[in-house]
Amino acid sequence: MKRSGRSGPPRIWCVAKPAGPTSFDIVREARRVSDYRRVGHAGTLDPFAEGLLVLGLGAATRLLAHVEAQTKVYRARVVLGQETDSGDPSGEVIREAEPSFDPTTLDAVLGGFVGEIEQVPPRYSAIRVGGKRAYDRARAGEEFDVPVRSVSVDSIEVLECSPEHLELRVTCGKGTYIRSLARDIGIALGGAAHLGSLVRERTGSLELAGAADGENLQRDWEVGRGVLGPEAVVADWPRVDLDADRVHRVRNGIQPDPAWWGLPGDEDLPEKIALYGPDGQLVALAGTHSERGLRLSVVLPEES
């Protein structure tokens, strides 16, 4: 695939991150091989974790907050019997206790973690506590409490079950820590547990299948593997096609008018909408804003 240059068109790049490198390591390598100066990602994967890392190239970085807010699907291996200080294999074992359960008990316990739940993020996490990253305070040996947060878990499916581990598929919302979920499942089963491995399989409508190999980014960039247009991240949003004049007005910051798509004035506006030009290119995203109707949240430049 020909390099696009530092002002290339907005692109989404789905990459299969391997275990080992950080998410920023992947961003750095993607920047090098693509020659885009602006590259970002939609949601960090810990170094031990694998799977789908969604990158935004060029102006597509403006879409990453919307991608990060979408539902995610993970395959998680919960190792039973040991809790670690980090919640994953990299940490030190701080508690050992074998859980005791049968299929009925397991179903009931897992059901208690579905819906809107309260969760304490790991001490080794990037959230800020008292103005500092939690992992910095933990590494410095400081005593501190991580505040509870509310997160959303849509479903937990049991793929494998043994006395040593659980293999789960978890569908959840933004901000859910699967490490915390593994720890808390172990406690609820009367024992201890940590997250042994994690694979992100999906973010919104974007899937791991077809993603570029994170260990061969140069090769996969050249053949366009995993490279998508920005419209891929809003494929399931309500869509409105604009004529050239309205595209020009939107790109100049004119807010969209409900009359453009024929809604009566008293009809509820959609919460979010994707605006396309006559050439099929994604032009902008808009969302409901208080009493003022739809307001532009992202405007993309015209592709050359």
Farthest-apart Cα atoms in the chain, separation: 67
**15 contacts 211 by C-beta, under 8 angstroms:** yes
Distance between CA atoms of residues 7 and 159, nearest Å: 45
Q: Reply yes or no on whether 46 is catalytic.
A: yes
**198 contacts 51 by C-beta, under 8 angstroms:** yes
Tokens 């304490």 correspond to what residue? 120
Distance between CA atoms of residues 162 and 269, nearest Å: 49
From the candidates 46, 88, 184, 220, which is the catalytic residue?
A: 46
**176 contacts 152 by C-beta, under 8 angstroms:** yes
**Tokens representing residue 90 in the block:** 């990299």
Can you say whether the dihedral through the CA atoms of 91, 93, 98, 99 is positive or negative?
negative
Tokens 């891929």 correspond to what residue? 232
**Tokens representing residue 147 in the block:** 């505040």
Where in the sequence numbering do the catalytic residues fall? Answer: 46
